[in-house]
Structure 1
């Protein structure tokens, strides 16, 4: 998928948010109106940094859950990101987690997760963008040009940090040797770029991200193209299976980002296999029937909030409750 993605956002809101809700809304309203017959309890959701995309989406989802199912209370846990979320899910500290598809693959048994993490998917709600930004006055024009410059690759525990080191290696650079690496949360990384103590930062998120929009005003940003690094990475691991693809920044994203080729990364809402079936079904229905209410402001990137797209969870199998919901909603 290339080019601006605003049309998909509009289509998603119209088709999934209006038509589906109108045609199938009774399924959701019926559950919500019969207080005491729907799912109940406390649902813990791991999101991301407080100022980033996952947290914004998580807050919207939590609001919709509690509005539709008065006996089901959703508690948001902000975190560093995908890797941390998978560990919290593995250890039973949360019930749902937002993760990059690429990071979810790591959880199936790698050096990062030597013991596979049992996972099931509720759906694939979004595609976020890898955004590698340097100051507008920087001489760096490519990832390979970062040699000798300090960069922030995202907080420890984030999926962006994992992907960032791989991108550096794909460009022929050794993280921590050729390129000094810091792992800062987004707000701190933005401050460091503004102060000139790091040359650039990497983040995975919606477009435009408010933190980057502010940074784009002062001191100004340029975005590094990343897709030239995909063939080497794709040859080794398979882009489709990792949920990676080539995308371009929309003209409206930032002042100078329009047309820059970068990497889109699909995101999964995942759970433990033993999540209550009724709860999984309820959350899945909300993803479809309340789609238009689940779009954060920083969401020009692709949304997959329709049944056909949500079920594309790759190597992570759908939870039985999610399967039941999708079949009821789409046949």
Structure 2
């Protein structure tokens, strides 16, 4: 795709109607399955819902356990839109665990990069994942993408740990209290709840990039190298870790005009959809929005991007 400026995109948006028949009087707001309070999913979801509402397409943000639960809500018709890690979306489309049958997911766009963050107390002697063998570790909430990745991470590292499945804020409390030695989180940088913890007591992240060869050989190139910026959670050097793209997904049941309206909003409101505290790489421009890999774009979203690109 040839390069296109944001100004040109915005001119296209202003010249085209957002969506036919969608106004502030819509009887049933779109339900957006987001994530846990204190995480990046909810922050992004709230910003997107506000942008959609301003564009005449009311939306509500639903707190969930994360990617797995979001896809289950889409499958069951409880949500119209959801946020999901690409690895979890691929598992859903193929019917792999933790899904019992294929889910016909489609994407509205690739919205930002998730950073796998394995956090310990600063004074902990652990230098890497292997040092957590046999120790209490929280590997994400039930229904989260982090929980799936956590199991894959331990398998790639060849270790077993005393695993619990805690929601983020419970995991933060357990790490602070010393009842767990590490917590795994998947999200933007810095994640608000982790930043709040770092403001109360010293913590640090363990590097995970060393496990990329094993993860990619088992699960494909959906995982890639990323670096948590220096000082994201207090004084520290950059930390090499594992990244996976996050998608805004739906099912074919979403009307094309609605999918197109959401896609247009992602482009038009891009500067307003990145939380002010975010330090990590963001993808909210048209060239990256369409980079959804093996998860196909919803036809309505694809048509909107083609129209905007000209």
- Where in structure 2 are there 5+ consecutive unaligned residues? none
Contact 1:42 1:75 in 2 (8 A): yes
CA 1:17–1:181 in structure 2 vs 1: closer, same or farther (change >3 Å)? Answer: farther
CA 1:36–1:215 in structure 2 vs 1: closer, same or farther (change >3 Å)? Answer: closer
Task: Normalising by structure 2, report the TM-score.
Answer: 0.93
Contact 2:18 2:264 in 1 (8 A): no
Compute the displacement of 1:110 (Å).
1.0
1:119-198 aligned within 5 A: 119-174=105-160, 179-198=161-180
SS at match of 1:110: coil
2:191 and 2:152 map into 1 onto residues whose CA distance is: 23
Aligned counterpart, 2:82: 97
Q: Provide, for residues 85-107 of structure 1, a one-character-per-residue CA deviation record: whole Å limited to 9, x for no partner.
A: 11111111111100000100110
Aligned counterpart, 1:60: 47
- Count residues in correspondence: 307
Compute the displacement of 1:133 (Å).
0.6
Compute the displacement of 1:216 (Å).
1.8
Contact 1:31 1:38 in 2 (8 A): no
Task: Normalising by structure 1, report the TM-score.
Answer: 0.87
- Where in structure 1 are there 5+ consecutive unaligned residues? 1-14
1:330 and 1:303 map into 2 onto residues whose CA distance is: 20
Measured on the aligned residues, the alpha-carbon RMSD in Å equals 2.2
CA 1:309–1:18 in structure 2 vs 1: closer, same or farther (change >3 Å)? Answer: closer
1:50 and 1:209 map into 2 onto residues whose CA distance is: 11
Q: Provide, for residues 198-233 of structure 1, a one-character-per-residue CA deviation record: whole Å limited to 9, x for no partner.
A: 001010111112221222233311211101111011
Q: Tell me if 1:293 matches 2:281.
A: no
Aligned counterpart, 1:5: none
Q: Tell me if 1:319 matches 2:298.
A: yes
Q: Provide, for residues 80-130 of structure 1, a one-character-per-residue CA deviation record: whole Å limited to 9, x for no partner.
A: 000001111111111110000010011022132231001111000110111
SS at match of 1:197: coil
2:112 and 2:22 map into 1 onto residues whose CA distance is: 31
Aligned counterpart, 2:185: 203
Aligned counterpart, 1:265: 244
Contact 2:20 2:257 in 1 (8 A): no
CA 1:93–1:35 in structure 2 vs 1: closer, same or farther (change >3 Å)? Answer: closer
The range that moved more, 210-219 or 165-174, is 210-219
Higher RCO (CA-CA < 8 Å; seq separation 6+): 1
2:24 and 2:194 map into 1 onto residues whose CA distance is: 44
